[in-house]
C-alpha cells in the first residue's frame, strides 16, 4: 500500500480539517514575556504548572526516539493508548458506514471506541491456540473495513502472534493495521518497530502503563509514517498530554536499567507462579504468556473468583469472553502477593471437592 492509498482511507472531513492553532503552536520561540495564552502570570497554587504544556511533547519524543531508535517524526503521544485507539477510529472510520475488524478474545477498548463512534465491528475470532486467522480476516474485510486491530502479545490470552502472519496481513489487508504492543517489553518476540518504514499502513501502539509502571500518568504511544502522525496531530486535543506527565515520563525514561531488572523479575515470578499453579487441582489449563499476566482455565472460574474476592484478592474474570470459558486472568504481583495468592488457592483446593 502506498501513501496515496493511505490518503484515500482517511475521512474527507479530516483531510480537509483546519486544525485549532493554539498560542503555543503559533509562537514556539523563547520570549521574556508570555502574555499570549491567558495563563496565570502569578503562578500555580502548587508546583509550577501555570503554563500550558508543549502541545507536541518535543522533549519526550526526542528521548523516546533515541530509546526506540526511531525518528521523532514517527512518534505520537496520547493520553493513554485509549486516546490513540479513539483518534485512529475518528481519523479513518466514517460513522455508520465504516467498520473495524477485531479478533476476540482481545482488549475491550477497540470495540468500545468503535461503538462510541458509531463505527461497525467485524469479529474474526482467534483460532484454537489463540492464533490470528489471516485467511478469515482477509475474507471478512470489505471496502468499508478501515482498521484491523491486532494485539500482540494478546490481552487476555498472553500469546504473541506469528510475525509472518502479521507481515502477510500488512501486505494484504486493504486498510490500516494497528498492532497493539502494550506488553512487548515482557515478550521474547521482537517489536514490529523494526519494519515500520516498510509498511505505510502500519500503526504500532505501545504504552508506558505496563513495563514502565506509569499507568497513573496516562501515556500511550503510536508509531507510524510521518503522514499518519500528522493526521493524529491534527485531530488530537491541543494539550492532550499534561505538563506533569511529560516531565515525569522524561525522568522515568532515564531509568532503563531499573525497568529492565523489574521486567526480568516479573518474568521469573511468572515462571514460579506457573509452577505453583500446575500443582493446583482446580486448574484445568495454563496458557503460555509473553506478558505480565497468565490466563488460567479453572473447573469453575466464577467460584474461584468469588472465593478470592472473599479473601480480598481481586483477579480478572474473563470467563464470558469467547474462547475463554472458565478462565481467570491473573496479573503477576510482587513475590509476597504471589505467595499470598498461591496459599489462598491451596486452601481453596483443600476446601473444594474436585
Which residues bind to ligand PLP, rule: CB under 6 A?
A: 80-82, 107, 151, 155, 180, 182, 207, 209-210, 215, 220
**What are the helix (H) ranges across 69-191?**
81-92, 109-116, 134-140, 163-172
Provide the minimum distance between the beta carbon of 295 and ligand PLP in the complex, in angstroms, as a whole number.
13
Characterise 148 by phi-psi region: left (phi > 0), alpha (psi -120 to 50), beta (else).
beta
- The residue (of 296 and 345) whose beta carbon lies closer to ligand PLP is 296
What is the rounded distance in angstroms from the CA atom of residue 317 to the CA atom of residue 330? Answer: 9
**237's grid cell:** 486535543
C-beta of 207 vs 266, nearer to ligand PLP:
207
- Buried b / exposed e over 316-353, threshold 16 CB at 10 Å, is ebbbebeebebbbbbbbbeeeebeebbebbeebeeeee
Nearer to ligand PLP, 56 or 211 (CB): 211
Query: CB of 118: closest distance to ligand PLP in angstroms?
Result: 22
Minimum CB distance to ligand PLP, residue 278 (Å):
25
Residue from 139, 133, 182 nearest 162 by CA: 133
Q: Which is nearer to ligand PLP, 155 or 191 (CB)?
A: 155
Report in angstroms how near the CB of residue 214 gets to ligand PLP at its nearest. Answer: 9
Q: Which three cell numbers stand for residue 9?
A: 482511507
Strands (E), 235-292: 283-287
Distance in Å, CB of 293 to ligand PLP, minimum: 9
User: Which lies closer to ligand PLP via its Cβ, residue 183 or residue 282?
Assistant: 183
Helix 109-116 to helix 81-92 angle (10° resolution) is 40
Angle 171-139-5 from CA coordinates, rounded to 5°: 40
Q: Which residue is nearest to ligand PLP (CB)?
A: 80
Under 8 Å CB-to-CB from 325, ≥6 apart: which residues?
Answer: 297, 301, 319
| Beta-sheet pairing, 176-180 with 293-298 | unpaired
In this complex, which beta carbon is closest to ligand PLP, that of residue 107 or of residue 305? 107
Query: CB of 279 within 8 A of CB of 349?
Result: no
Q: Which is nearer to ligand PLP, 76 or 107 (CB)?
A: 107
Beta carbon of residue 157, minimum distance to ligand PLP (angstroms, whole number)? 11
In whole angstroms, how close is the CB of 162 to ligand PLP at the nearest point? 18
Amino acid at each position: 500500500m502506498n501513501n496515496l492509498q493511505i490518503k484515500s482511507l482517511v475521512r474527507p472531513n479530516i483531510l480537509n480539517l483546519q486544525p485549532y492553532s493554539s498560542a503555543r503552536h503559533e509562537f514556539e520561540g523563547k520570549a521574556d514575556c508570555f502574555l499570549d495564552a491567558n495563563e496565570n502570570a502569578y503562578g500555580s497554587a502548587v508546583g509550577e504548572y501555570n503554563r500550558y504544556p508543549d502541545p507536541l511533547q518535543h522533549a519526550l519524543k526526542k528521548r523516546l526516539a533515541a530509546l526506540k531508535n526511531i525518528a521523532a517524526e514517527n512518534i505520537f503521544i496520547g493520553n493513554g493508548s485509549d486516546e490513540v485507539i479513539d483518534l485512529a477510529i475518528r481519523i479513518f472510520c466514517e460513522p455508520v458506514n465504516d467498520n473495524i475488524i477485531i479478533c476476540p478474545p482481545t482488549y475491550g477498548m477497540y470495540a468500545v471506541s468503535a461503538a462510541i463512534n458509531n463505527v461497525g465491528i467485524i469479529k474474526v475470532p482467534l483460532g484454537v491456540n489463540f492464533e490470528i486467522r489471516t485467511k478469515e480476516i482477509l475474507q471478512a474485510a470489505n471496502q468499508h473495513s478501515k482498521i484491523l486491530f491486532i494485539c500482540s502479545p494478546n490481552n487476555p490470552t498472553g500469546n504473541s502472534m506469528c510475525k509472518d502472519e502479521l507481515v502477510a496481513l500488512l501486505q494484504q489487508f486493504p486498510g490500516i493495521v494497528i498492532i497493539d504492543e502494550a506488553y512487548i517489553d515482557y515478550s521474547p518476540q521482537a517489536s514490529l518497530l523494526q519494519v515500520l518504514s516498510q509498511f505505510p499502513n502500519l500503526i504500532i501502539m505501545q504504552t508506558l502503563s505496563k513495563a514502565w509502571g506509569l499507568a497513573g500518568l496516562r501515556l500511550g504511544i503510536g508509531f507510524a509514517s510521518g503522514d499518519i502522525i500528522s493526521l493524529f496531530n491534527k485531530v488530537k486535543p491541543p494539550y492532550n498530554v499534561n505538563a506533569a506527565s511529560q516531565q515525569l515520563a522524561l525522568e522515568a525514561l532515564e531509568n532503563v536499567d531499573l525497568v529492565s531488572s523489574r521486567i526480568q523479575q516479573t518474568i521469573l515470578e511468572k515462571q514460579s507462579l506457573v509452577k505453583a499453579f500446575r500443582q493446583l487441582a482446580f486448574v484445568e489449563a495454563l496458557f503460555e504468556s509473553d506478558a505480565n499476566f497468565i490466563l488460567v482455565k479453572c473447573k469453575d472460574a466464577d467460584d474461584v473468583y468469588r472465593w478470592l474476592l472473599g479473601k480480598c484478592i481481586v483477579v480478572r474474570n474473563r470467563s464470558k469472553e469467547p474462547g475463554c470459558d472458565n478462565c481467570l486472568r491473573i496479573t503477576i504481583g510482587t513475590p509476597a502477593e504471589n505467595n499470598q495468592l498461591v496459599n489462598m488457592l491451596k486452601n481453596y483446593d483443600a476446601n473444594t471437592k474436585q
